[in-house]
Chains A and B, each alone.
Chain A
Amino acid sequence: MDRRDAAWYVDRVAQGLIFAGGISAIVFIVGIFVFVTKEGLGFVFGPLQPGEFLTSIAWRPTSNNPTYGALALIVGTASVTGFAMLFSVPLSLGAALFIAEFARGKTREILKVLVEMLAAIPSVVWGFVGMSIMNPLIIRIFDVPVGLTVLNAGLILGLMAAPIMTTIAEDALKAVPDSYREAAEALGATRWEVVVKVVIPASRNGLLAAVLLGVGRGFGETMAVLMASGHAINLPTSPFDSVRALTATIAAELGDAPVGSDHYGSLFTLGILLFVVTFVVNLTADLVVRGVGKK
């Protein structure tokens, strides 16, 4: 009996397409990794002086006597992301708690839609907000000479990272079986006690993953940070200092760096650094969600 009718072929083709779709994610990520390392490794094993790269703040790739000290860029990215998280984590987790545990009916639906819309705002628009709204506002409120600072970029980045953190944290809270809440309520817990003593501990991994993904989002963001941070090479000592981020440096300089030059290679080295950091952060988030290391 020959079973190779039309349906059999359709099934085969569909299988093939779906397989190709599934495998493509792996192909792309490996491809990007190979490309970035290929362009960067020549520099890493050639002119790069690791001591200078990690400890000097002198990033002068176009000078006659170029130096490639990335410390200020690393600290810039870290300070902006750190500041963003400082303000965004409580905001996002609070929003997720309210949406998942307290809001009902229409309120909840409207809030969910609004949070998702927040995620759809292009980053250049955020950067625009940072430059033309936050900048004068910060100058006026804090009476400082410049408003394009860690504070400005951190706030903008915090708002940008908030939707993804809120959505993932909300999913984590939703995943807590309702029978836990019911059990605790039947034992006489108030709604707040249910949230604090049962729901949050039960969703701890998911909440942590939400935060880590927010951190990853912060590290990788380019345009808004470029526009709002001041883009000045500087080790910040207060939130009112301008800084320059790793991502912003690549975006701003790559177009002017001749392909194959040391400058070009050094920018790809920054790319490798970013790639490794975000990869580790995301992998950690993923492992945390799966509960690796859970007691």
Chain B
Amino acid sequence: MDSGARGDHAIETRGLNLWYGDFQALYDVDLTVKRGIITSMIGPSGCGKTTMLRTCNRIIERLGYVRTTGSVYVLGHDIFGDDVELVQVRKQIGMVFQRPNPLPISIRDNVLFGFKLHEARLRRVSAAEEDEVLESSLRQVLLWDTVKDRLDKPATGLSLEEQQKLCIARLLPVKPAVLLMDEPCSALDPAGTEAVEELIWKLRGDYTILIVTHNMAQARRASDECVFMLLGRIIEHGRTEELFLAPEHSETSDYIEGRYG
């Protein structure tokens, strides 16, 4: 496959193996994530979903004892390639974590953190432009009306649901192509889960979204395609309704029916 065809896919991994020290967490993963849709990843705890996700922006390397073989292409670029800058990879790929992790600074500074980081390298940004970016990002995550009067208050004072929305909002100003979400609702109450899910659904089309979830109902409700992983391997990948209604593999159907996991 030439790189032109690769560019059609948001994320593509080929023969990806990953080790934490001596423990192999991913085996020969070939995954293709299509552009503009929501792909969910399900599977029991420890099956490698989160590892897979964290490999796509190479944040996994923070641990220091991680080794990989194989390749990962994001928008056609080999992110392990020598000519690839990590900062640029992470500009293209936004990440939402399991626990909302706003920085201990004001709401405004949180939203503009990435924007200032990337844009300030290139040019001067006017205060008016910052305000505009701030408002539009917060509007996109349906948070503007709630926080517009306390933009200079610390972000850590928001509710978990609001924090998680804020964590999504701060990705948008740098215009990423892909959003990685690692169980974004697992720390939220049912109402918060619903609100954030609604938001994720709203972002569909504008962004390619790869979301890890423990919650099969969520995967079913909120995704176009679904990937089932087990013990570091991808077992099945298909359209969500097909995977849930007529899974090809017995492991998938057993998991979906709740026989393990």
Contact = CB atoms under 8 A, between A and B. Distances in A.
Interface stretch (A88-96, A120-128, A180-188, A220-228): A180-188
Contacts of A190: 87
Contact of A186 (B90, B99, B104, B154): B90
Interface stretch (A18-26, A72-80, A148-156, A193-201): A193-201
Interface residues of B, number: 27
A104 B65 CA distance: 12
Contacts of B104: 180, 201-202
A289 interface: no
Given A104-B64, A201-B105, A202-B104, A184 B113 contact: yes
Nearest to B87: A188
A261 interface: no
Interface string B94-136: 1101010111110000000110011000000000000000000
B103 A188 contact: no
A183 B64 contact: no
A179 interface: yes
A254 interface: no
A179 B101 contact: yes
B100 to A, nearest CB: 9
A188 B176 CA distance: 11
B242 to A, nearest CB: 32
B114 A179 contact: no
4 smallest beta-carbon distances between A and B, as pairs: A188-B90, A187-B114, A179-B101, A186-B95
Interface stretch (B18-26, B71-79, B167-175): B167-175
A183 B90 contact: no
B103 A198 contact: yes
Nearest to B59: A186
B259 interface: no
B62 A185 contact: yes
B91 interface: yes
A182 B101 contact: yes
Nearest to A202: B104
Interface centre among B62, B94, B171 (most CB of A within 10 A): B62
A201 B174 CA distance: 23
A197 B115 CA distance: 13
B90 to A, nearest CB: 4
Contacts of A186: 57, 59, 90, 94-95, 97
B117 A193 contact: yes
Nearest to A104: B64
Contacts of A179: 97, 99, 101
Contact of B103 (A183, A193, A295): A183
| Chain A interface residue number, banded | 10 to 19
Given A201-B104, A201-B105, A187 B117 contact: yes
Given A104-B64, A184-B103, A188-B91, 17 more contacts: A179-B97, A179-B101, A180-B101, A182-B59, A182-B97, A183-B97, A186-B97, A187-B94, A187-B117, A188-B86, A188-B90, A188-B114, A189-B87, A189-B117, A197-B113, A198-B103, A202-B104
Contacts of B99: 179
A201 B105 CA distance: 8
A185 B64 contact: no
Contact of A187 (B64, B105, B154, B170): B170
B176 to A, nearest CB: 9
A240 to B, nearest CB: 44
Nearest to A294: B154
A198 B109 CA distance: 11
A187 B171 contact: yes
B103 A180 contact: yes
A182 B87 CA distance: 13
A201 B101 CA distance: 16
A121 to B, nearest CB: 33
Contact of A188 (B64, B117, B167): B117
Nearest to A178: B62
Contacts of A201: 104-105
Contacts of A182: 59, 62, 97, 101
Contacts of B88: 188
B203 to A, nearest CB: 17
Contacts of B91: 188
Contacts of A183: 97, 101-103, 167
Nearest to B57: A186
A187 B92 CA distance: 9
B210 to A, nearest CB: 14
B59 A185 contact: yes
B58 to A, nearest CB: 10
A104 B94 CA distance: 27
A104 B64 CA distance: 10
Contacts of A185: 59, 62, 90
Contacts of A184: 103, 113
B59 A188 contact: no
A188 B95 contact: no
A188 B174 contact: yes
A120 B167 CA distance: 46
Interface in B37-88: 57, 59, 62, 64, 86-88
